[in-house]
Structure formats: C-alpha cells, structure tokens
Amino acid sequence: MASILGIIFSNIHNKEVFEITQVRTIASAPIGGRYRLIDFTLSNLVNHGVNHIGLVTKSNFQSLMDHIGSGKEWDLARKTGGLVILPPYGINEDTIYNTRLEALKRIISFINSAKEEYVILTDCYHVCNVDFSDLLDFHIQKNADITCVYRTQKVANDSYYLPANAFVLAPNKRVLSMDVVENVNEEANVSVDMWILKRELLLSLVLDAMNFNSHSFNKDILKQNVNNLKIYGYKFSGFFGNISSLQSYYDVNMQLLKKEVRQELFEVKGRSIYTKVRDSAPTLYCENAKITNSLIADGCIIDGNVENSILFRGVKVGKGSVIKNSILNQDTDVSEKTSLEYVVTDKNVKIYNKKEIKGSASHLIYVKKDASI
C-alpha cells in the first residue's frame, strides 16, 4: 500500500460551536460519552496504515494536547513518523494563520521533509468511520491529481448548516465546478473537507500560493484549478455527523443512541475508534437506577432516572433525580431530586439538590465548564 502522510486542521471550525470551543479546539470537543472529535479522524487515518500525522494547531489547544499526549493510544508514539504537533509559529507580522492554506504555508518544511507519497488533508468536525483505503484506490484508479470527499445532502436551514462548498460533478466524478452553497432546499454534493493528493503536488501548490500570496485552499487552489488539474469527487455515504452548531452537536450525539449508527461507527472489524484511556471503574448502577435508551460511559454512579441521554465518564446522578434528553459531560455531578431536560453540561458541572432545569428540543440549555448551580 502506498504511504500516506496525514495532516489534520484542528481549529478551522472553532467559531461554529462557540459554546463548546470557548475552552478548547473543535478537535477536542467531547462527543459520544468517551470520545473527542479528533478520535474519529485520528482512528480513521491510523486504521488505514497512516502512521505519520501532522496536527496543525492554532489556539486554545491545551485540552487537545492533554487528550493526545504522546499519541500512544492511537499507536502514534513512534520513532519514525508518529504524531507531530505543529503549533503556530511565524516570522514577522503574520504570525497566526486563519485558513488551511495559510496553515500549510507555515508547515511547508514538515511537508517537505516527510517521505510519504500521498497526503490526506482533513478537518476535524466529523463523526464518521471512513474507509481511506477505498478513497486511495479511487484516487489511483481515476488517475486523479486531487480527490475531494463529498456527501450528497441538503443545505437547507441556514442556522443549522453553514455555507458549504459544493461540487458539480461529471458522470465520471470529475469535478466540473465548485461553489459556495447556502440555504438551498435541494441536494448538493457538499465537500466534507477531506482531500487526498500526492505530497509533491501539495508542495508545489503551496509554493505557488506563497508566490501569489493566495489564502484559500478551496477558492485559490481547488476552484482555480478545476480545468488545469484532474480533480475528482469521492462520495461518502456512510453515517456522517457534522458538528457545526450546538444544535447539531446535540443531534449528532443523540444519533449515537441508534443501534445501526453504533454498529457502523464502532463495530467495524479492524476499524475501531481509539481514545484516551482514563481507567475509570465500570459504571455502578444502584438500587433506584432506571435507565432507558441511553449511552453511558464508564466511571458513572447512577441512582436516578436516565432517559434518552448521553452520560460521559464520571457522571453522578443522585437518588430521585431525572435526566431526560440531555448530554452530561465528564464528571458532571447531579445531586438528589434534580430534574434536567434538554440540558447540555460541559465538564465538571455541579448541580445541587432539588433543581429543575428545563430546555426544549429547539432551545437547549448549555451549562458551561466548572459551573455550580
């Protein structure tokens, strides 16, 4: 199999889920009881033999560093290759990048010194289990210069879906044109911000971009080169959770309660999703526990009612408390006789006795990190 270098942009979508990313990067946003978003991206890469990965960071990345550590949980603590953290640095005035292309310019020496033949570039806001080997096969079979991964979906509600890049494709999947779409009520081939190309090509594109002082990977590289380069679209049709707002963060989490989604994401042989191990004890269900349709991580102690909810590691639910349609992040402590509905708590939230907090399906209540109520 051809060797592939991975490059992950950990900050590109920070602004979109601002509640969750106040204290962290989008890449380290907690999801599904025990994961961070980056676990999916990293595991997808590692499961396809990518063992040299550059992680581009920009700001707020302390929690990301804490999560990643040496990369050993993903088998990326290596002498050769492994996980390389690429913190922001620059010379003179333009020290901080804003776009992917600007980030690539700053890590050009990393790209240059790598030995791999191909590069996968990817953002970090998706919950999916992608078969990158199949993507590479497609790329080689089409003799493509760049292959972009896309999904066919509607971009309907502008508060929910952000403006996205959509491709117009020829029947052979060649990209004919690409444009930003927003609030269109019909299906479009929307880019999911994952690309594969040869490392040498990426180098020359980034060097050109430096000469011409261009900034956008989508606009200045892909769109500009639709006719000059063979750019193809690879359709991903499996489960795809797209985190682009608090509402979609909630919805994607809730999707994980479905057995078929669970199977597709977590139970594919040889394609496990790895994460940092916290050595929590198994979850203890006490005498008064009553659990329905919920995803519960290890380390919880539950003596109340939990319904249609996601409990992260170390959550406590006291006697007589009722948790409905909620997401309780790591170490949330709910005392006795408290009722929560449509609530998303961040880490370490303490909710004392006899409180009632009630949101609704369209108006979620978010409780920020370390808050006491």
Partner 1 sequence: MYFCTCEKNVMLNKKECVAMLLAGGQGSRLHVLTNRLAKPAVSFGAKYRIIDFPLSNCIHSNIDTVGVLTQYQPLILNDYIGNGQPWDLDRVFGGVHILSPYQGKDKTDWYRGTANAIYQNVNFIQRYNPEYVLILSGDHIYKMDYSKMLRFHKENKADCTIAVINVPMNEASRFGIMNTNDSMKILEFEEKPKVPKSTKASMGVYIFSAEALYKYLEEDEQDITSENDFGKNIIPKMLKNGLNLYAYTFEGYWRDVGTITSLWEANMDLLGVNSEVNLQDPNWRILSRNDAFPPQLIGENSTIVNSLITEGCLVEGTVINSLLSCNVKVAKGAVVKDSVIFENTIIESGAIVNYSIIDQDVIIGKKSIVGAPKEETNKITVIGSYVEVEAKAKVLPGAIVDSTIKGE
Q: By CB under 8 A, is residue 324 in contact with partner 1?
A: no
Which residue lies nearer to partner 1 by CB, 196 or 254?
A: 254
Least distance CB 306 / partner 1 (angstroms): 8
List the structure tokens of 107.
């890590």
Least distance CB 39 / partner 1 (angstroms): 9
Q: By CB under 8 A, is residue 348 in contact with partner 1?
A: no
| Measured CA angle at 345 (ends 72, 352), to 5 deg | 120
Indicate which single residue of 184, 210, 226, 301 sits in contact with partner 1 (rule: CB under 8 A).
Answer: 301
List the structure tokens of 305.
């009612």
Signed CA dihedral, 112, 6, 167, 140: sign only: positive
CB 169 within 8 A of CB 175: yes
Which residue lies nearer to partner 1 by CB, 127 or 209?
A: 127
x/- map, 26-45, partner 1, by CB under 8 A? ------xxx--------x--
Least distance CB 50 / partner 1 (angstroms): 17
CB 291 within 8 A of CB 309: no
Least distance CB 316 / partner 1 (angstroms): 9
Which residue lies nearer to partner 1 by CB, 36 or 58?
A: 36
Give the CA dihedral 15, 266, 272, 190, nearest 10 degrees.
Answer: -40
- Which value, in Å, is the radius of gyration of the alpha carbons in the chain? 21
Which residue lies nearer to partner 1 by CB, 57 or 129?
A: 129
Indicate which single residue of 183, 204, 293, 360 sits in contact with partner 1 (rule: CB under 8 A).
Answer: 293
Which residue lies nearer to partner 1 by CB, 140 or 286?
A: 286
Q: By CB under 8 A, is residue 299 in contact with partner 1?
A: yes
Q: By CB under 8 A, is residue 298 in contact with partner 1?
A: yes
CA 56 to chain centre: 14
Alpha carbon distance 14, 343 (integer Å): 21
Nearest Cα to Cα of residue 132 among 144, 117, 122, 142:
122
Question: What letter would DSSP give residue 191?
Answer: E
Indicate which single residue of 26, 297, 317, 367 sits in contact with partner 1 (rule: CB under 8 A).
Answer: 297
Question: What letter would DSSP give residue 198?
Answer: E
x/- map, 248-287, partner 1, by CB under 8 A? --------xx-x--x--xx-----xxxx-x-xxxxxxxxx
Q: By CB under 8 A, is residue 294 in contact with partner 1?
A: yes
Indicate which single residue of 175, 296, 328, 364 sits in contact with partner 1 (rule: CB under 8 A).
Answer: 296
Least distance CB 288 / partner 1 (angstroms): 9
x/- map, 70-109, partner 1, by CB under 8 A? --x-------------------------------------
Alpha carbon distance 315, 367 (integer Å): 15
Which residue lies nearer to partner 1 by CB, 259 or 363?
A: 259
9 sits in which H/E element: strand 4-9
Signed CA dihedral, 277, 278, 279, 285: sign only: negative
Alpha carbon distance 207, 66 (integer Å): 33
CB 269 within 8 A of CB 287: no
Least distance CB 156 / partner 1 (angstroms): 30
- Residues of this chain that bind partner 1 (CB under 8 A): 32-34, 43, 72, 256-257, 259, 262, 265-266, 272-275, 277, 279-287, 289-299, 301, 303, 306, 311
